[in-house]
Amino acid sequence: MYSGNRSGENIGISPARYLQVAIDGTTVLGLEPGDLFTGADSRLTLLQTLTTTPYQLPSNYIGMHFKDQNAPTNVVFGTLRLHDCDCSWQDIDPNAQGPSGYDAGAVARLDALVSLAHSKSADIIYCFNGTPAGFAVDGNIRQRSVYELPLQNFLAWLWDRYGTKITAIEPWNEPNTPGYFAGTYSGAGNDLWLHSSRIYDWVKYFSRPWTVLTPSFTDASGAVSMNTYMQDGGNDKCDAFAFHAYQGSEFLKFDRKNTDAFLAVAASRSPGKDIWCTEVGNSNPTRRSIVEPVLYMSAKGVKRVCLYAWDHEGKIDMRISRLGAGTWNSIVAELRSGSISRVSTIGMMIGAVIGGVNVSA
């Protein structure tokens, strides 16, 4: 499709690769300001300009996940999503005893990760993905709590210990993924809505300055399921709309079509509310698997994108650490480097003009 290296992820930035594109054997230059394709030539229909409205990524825009509490301090990130780090509610209170019986190791992991984020002035998303078995419906950690009080007590403990160091609460991770949530998420008073409403109502009653997100659905079926959940009361119990921008079940990757489907649900069910992508990654991380979702979603108005994951293999091997801290940090610096005045795609390629410099994935 284009002249140059097809993989494009491992040879660094090359404006020539970004600007020089071969379509039907004809080499054309595009994507420079004032040099976009504007003709009626059908060969050029692969070009899509996502936005020409200037914007700049805030420092908290690009997020990260860490599993190890001893995460390296030289990795740049603006938001830390606490998920898959063995410090969720069921990890901290495995015996359903309340604060007096909390697991010291899980609390220490959470303390260390919160301290790491705080040292970088980064935001924190605390994610629920289970319930202590002793509190859960049918004793299933993938269900909601039977009673409201245990969840309220845990939220109070989070506030007393961490306060405003936590920025947002995510009620559940990927409830539509098999094995991740055992309850219902459609119909009036469904299990997921009840769990989310307990969190939302507690935060609002005590005027805590936490942003309460929606549960984050994922993949092709996720937008349909989330539309139903939001229609059945989910929008009433959130401050912002959250989703995961994946395609696949074994090999995971960013998917534009699925992302657009979630954005359509947000526009329909949560108009005016911010949209966060709390997880996206790739089973074989590359430069492109980082740059593409950030550029694509930021151009479409998504307010936060959290990459998965620095040190967790996930599906196959999603560890961004394989690229090295230097490569990751340089990509983040590049994306934050200035005003983004244009984001465009040519087929599967994506690029932007950032601070007057052409940047490609």
Q: What is the pLDDT of residues 1-33, one digit of tens each?
A: 233 333 333 333 344 444 444 333 333 334 343
pLDDT (tens digit per residue) in 101-149: 999 999 999 999 999 999 999 999 999 999 999 999 999 999 999 999 9
pLDDT of amino acid 14? 42
Residue 123 contacts by C-beta under 8 Å, 6 or more apart in sequence?
60, 63, 78, 79, 80, 117, 167, 168
Residue 221 pLDDT grade (very low, low, confident, very high; cuts 50, 70, 90): confident
pLDDT of amino acid 303? 98
pLDDT of amino acid 250? 87
Nearest Cα to Cα of residue 339 among 58, 2, 139, 64: 58
Q: Domain boundaries in the chain? A: 1-49+343-361, 57-337
Cα(55)–Cα(358) distance, rounded to whole angstroms? 15
Stated pTM of the model: 0.89
Specify which residues 243 forms β-bridges with: 217, 277
Taking residues 154-166, report their average pLDDT: 98
pLDDT (tens digit per residue) in 243-289: 999 998 889 999 999 999 999 999 999 999 999 999 999 999 999 99
Nearest Cα to Cα of residue 66 among 54, 58, 76: 76
The number of beta carbons lying within 10 Å of the beta carbon of residue 338 is: 16
Which residue do the tokens 């989310």 mark? 196
pLDDT of amino acid 358? 86
pLDDT of amino acid 30? 42
pLDDT (tens digit per residue) in 54-91: 999 999 999 999 999 988 999 999 999 999 999 999 99
Based on C-alpha coordinates, what's the Rg of the chain? 21
> What CATH number matches the domain at 57-337, 3.90.870.10, 3.20.20.80, 3.40.50.10130, 3.40.50.620?
3.20.20.80
pLDDT of amino acid 46? 57
